[in-house]
Amino acid sequence: MTKIGLIGFGTVGQSVTRILTDGSHSDVELASICNRNVEKKRVDWVPDDVIWTSDFEDVLKSDVEIIIELIGGTEPATHLIRQALELGKSVVTANKQVVAQSGSSLIETAHSNDCRLLFEAAVGGGIPVIRGVQEGLSGDVLTRIHGLLNGTCNYILTRMESAQITFEQALEEAQQLGFAEADPTADIDGGDAQAKIAILSAIGLGCPVRLDSIPTTTIRGIDPIDFVYADRLHSTVRQVSRVERLDVAKKTVSASVQLMLVPNASPLARAEGSQNLVVVDGVRSGETAFSGFGAGGDPTAVAVVSDLIAISRGNSSVVNWPTQTPDGSAQIDFDLAHYIRFVVIDRPGIISELAQVFATHDINIDSLLQEPGWSKRELPFVITLERCNTSAVRNALSEIRRFDFHARDLFWMPILTREKT
């Protein structure tokens, strides 16, 4: 029987404990639980023979063979994981930030000490996307991975659309239901999804990138009117994380986490609430989708326990983290169509002024949308642009922002297309 040590007894840690102590997994034994405040966290449903401690050194020095790290944050989690691996103890973690920032060196440490580091729960919660791309699609050359990697953002956006409420109202609702943290910054500003797409780039495309080189945009700027215009364009709005291979030999990719206009025909448009969805494109296998609950105690715990069961039974594959290129940066420019929403103090000539700037940057306007009935002092309208490089759009909008007709700052997002960029 394989002895397990659990470090971290929060929402996921408690769900893991319930799974390990319900009698359904007789080949593993929860031997110890480490938490900073034992007296506050101790519960009577944990078996009496499980040792409680507030010092993770007690777990490291014990005879447990696998350690589950669920404390979150980069430190002391990274140090703890490295210590465990150096002692020859395998580690299972759900810590996306640690894996994204230190995955390469930690996996090398695991290899050197004949043990394993698995982290299925770090991306997509209970969705087996890491195992899917690493094992299920290992016979193919993967070219692009994109999807919805943050359940909080997806819940907020789908509620704004279905209930016609503001971003602030949807966020408050998500917090009340436990889908959003008290401080939701990492979710709504893209940091959470940024770490996840960095991991998928390394594991799925074989192209590790520096975390800080992946651009992210917040979802705070979205307005209910954007869903009205999106509907007229037979689309919706989602926070999309994407990475695409540019050069196999040079291990270069383009990557981003941003709001995008998503056509209703896309699988991403049909994912609602806190659901996560990852779509993987392969040269031979085509499009493969992984879908499910990407957050919450129970789904994440299932991924954690699945990893440790694989290790205990000797079924876990060796995770390989490719060597990073000297630069290790993701390229940030895509050739895509674009959606731009303006809110202006109306006067004659606004459209011609905008058209002139876009023409100067060799950008073609595709469509102009304006809903009737709005005040002339705060008039929203949308311009969509034909496919062009994001840097050209960025430069054009920098000029446009200096015009005096803006009632509110403009809102800009790319339009997701099936064509390769």
How many Cβ atoms sit within 10 Å of the Cβ of residue 418? 9
Task: Indicate the helix (H) or strand (E) that contains 389.
Answer: strand 379-389
Q: pTM above the 0.85 mark?
A: yes
The edge-to-edge listing of strands for the beta sheet with 335-344 is 286-293, 275-282, 142-148, 235-247, 252-263, 406-415, 335-344, 379-389, 365-369
- The Cα 275–Cα 298 span in angstroms is 14
**Structure tokens, 397:** 């909008």
335-415 folds as: Alpha-Beta Plaits (3.30.70)
Give the SS3 label for residue 220: coil
Rounded to 5 degrees, φ, ψ at 72 are: 75, 170
Q: Domain segments of the chain: what residues?
A: 2-118, 140-292, 335-415
Instruction: Give 140-292's CATH code, choosing from 3.30.360.10, 2.40.50.180, 3.40.470.10, 2.10.109.10.
Output: 3.30.360.10
- The Cα 312–Cα 320 span in angstroms is 19
- Give 365's strand partners: 385
Q: Which of 282, 133, 99 is nearest to 208 (CA)?
A: 99
Continuous H helices in 113-241: 129-131, 151-163, 167-176, 185-188, 191-205, 224-232
Torsion of CA 174, 177, 182, 187, to 10 degrees: -40
Q: Which of 6, 10, 23 is nearest to 64 (CA)?
A: 6
Q: Which of 196, 250, 251, 420 is catalytic?
A: 196
- The Cα 337–Cα 23 span in angstroms is 54
Q: Is-catalytic flag, 40?
A: no
2-118 folds as: Rossmann fold (3.40.50)
Write down the pLDDT at residue 420.
Answer: 45
- Give 216's strand partners: 257
Fold agreement (2-118, 335-415): no
3-state helix, strand, coil in the chain (%, to 5): 35, 25, 35
Rounded to 5 degrees, φ, ψ at 419 are: -70, 150
Spell out the per-residue pLDDT of the chain, length 421, in tens.
899 999 999 989 999 999 999 988 888 999 999 998 898 889 999 999 999 999 999 999 999 999 999 998 899 999 999 999 999 999 999 999 999 999 999 999 999 999 999 999 999 888 999 999 998 999 999 999 999 999 999 999 999 999 999 999 999 999 998 888 889 999 999 999 999 999 999 999 988 988 999 999 999 999 999 999 999 999 999 999 999 988 766 678 889 999 999 999 999 999 988 889 999 999 999 999 999 887 778 889 999 999 999 999 987 777 778 766 545 667 667 789 999 999 999 999 999 999 999 999 999 999 999 998 899 999 999 999 999 999 999 999 999 999 999 999 999 999 998 544 3
Torsion of CA 190, 192, 194, 200, to 10 degrees: -150
Q: What is the pLDDT of residues 107-150, one digit of tens each?
A: 999 999 999 999 999 998 889 999 999 989 999 999 999 999 99
Instruction: Report the amino acid identity of residue 81.
Output: I
